[in-house]
């Protein structure tokens, strides 16, 4: 109890940052597990970049409605979720309507939305209103500003994500493994696909402010592929991906604060990749094929 009391009193801010990022890592790892299993890791790239125009639009809208000098977070997140969804839909549309492969569709959609986002942000920098400071944190993340309300939000989102995944585990797994079969059995494939997309957008949008839009991709994918190296069972893989995601965040936050005040988003991703590398080496040494 002493430790907890001292954590809460002496290191109040640090404790919040640790827990908040750990929860984000947990959710991202869990959801990312299914993206990896579905061989759709790249789609997260398109969806994350597609959040950026939403941030700009959200800023302009909240400015227009006089909310919090333009930085009304719920509106920013809602708009980014909407453009993220549009990004995913655009990839789907291009893939369905042309002969282009998904990776081509993703590459073009991603650059379009990112370009549009940067354009909006630059316009916003030039207008003479609102508090624009910190808008760039959506790009690279900023953990130092995390407060108790962020922790509560991330806690709620994590519980929600974990519950949905546990309830739908067998449906999500079947979707990733054998979509045709799920379709044949009439097992609500469309619903499950939308659920996975929803979970991904939820994690990305809540993670934007924390680790930034580039690094959230890594947090979705790297813990999942690390987990895959340790097990042949999907249940265990999901649990391990959540664990590695949380561990990466805790390790990254610790490194960034304890060492040289490095950018946290980067240290989190580097820590996650270090876990992956170590796992891979262990696997190679043990003689199993990776």
**Which positions touch another protein (CB under 8 A)?**
37, 39, 99, 167-171, 173-174, 176-178, 180-181, 183-188, 228, 231-234, 237
* For another protein, the closer CB: 100 or 274: 100
For the CB of residue 33, give the shortest distance to another protein in the complex, in Å: 10
> Is 45 within 8 Å of 217 (Cβ atoms)?
yes
* For another protein, the closer CB: 238 or 253: 238
* For another protein, the closer CB: 149 or 178: 178
For the CB of residue 236, give the shortest distance to another protein in the complex, in Å: 8
For the CB of residue 101, give the shortest distance to another protein in the complex, in Å: 13
For the CB of residue 277, give the shortest distance to another protein in the complex, in Å: 21
* For another protein, the closer CB: 258 or 290: 290
* For another protein, the closer CB: 218 or 241: 241
For the CB of residue 235, give the shortest distance to another protein in the complex, in Å: 9
């Amino acid at each position: 109890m002493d430790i907890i009391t001292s954590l809460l009193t002496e290191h109040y801010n640090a404790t919040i940052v640790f827990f908040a990022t750990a929860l984000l890592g947990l959710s991202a790892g869990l959801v990312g597990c299914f993206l990896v299993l579905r061989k759709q890791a790249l789609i997260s790239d398109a969806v994350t970049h597609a959040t950026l125009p939403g941030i700009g639009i959200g800023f302009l809208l909240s400015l227009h409605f006089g909310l919090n000098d333009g930085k009304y977070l719920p509106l920013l997140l809602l708009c980014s979720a909407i453009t993220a969804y549009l990004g995913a839909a655009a990839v789907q549309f291009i893939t369905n309507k042309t002969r282009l492969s998904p990776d081509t569709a993703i590459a073009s959609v991603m650059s379009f939305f990112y370009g549009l986002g940067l354009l909006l942000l630059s316009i916003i920098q030039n207008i003479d209103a609102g508090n624009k400071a910190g808008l760039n944190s959506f790009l690279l993340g900023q953990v130092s500003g995390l407060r108790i309300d962020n922790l509560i939000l991330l806690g709620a989102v994590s519980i929600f994500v974990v519950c949905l995944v546990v309830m739908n585990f067998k449906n999500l797994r079947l979707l990733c493994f054998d979509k045709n079969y799920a379709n044949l059995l009439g097992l609500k494939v469309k619903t499950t696909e939308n659920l996975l997309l929803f979970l991904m957008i939820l994690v990305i949008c809540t993670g934007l402010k924390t680790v930034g839009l580039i690094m959230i991709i890594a947090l979705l994918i790297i813990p999942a592929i690390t987990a895959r190296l340790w097990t042949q069972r999907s249940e265990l893989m999901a649990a391990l991906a959540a664990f590695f995601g949380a561990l990466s965040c805790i390790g990254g936050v610790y490194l960034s604060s304890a060492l040289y005040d490095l950018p946290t988003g980067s240290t989190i991703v580097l820590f996650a990749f270090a876990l992956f590398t170590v796992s891979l080496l262990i696997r190679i040494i043990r003689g199993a094929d990776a």
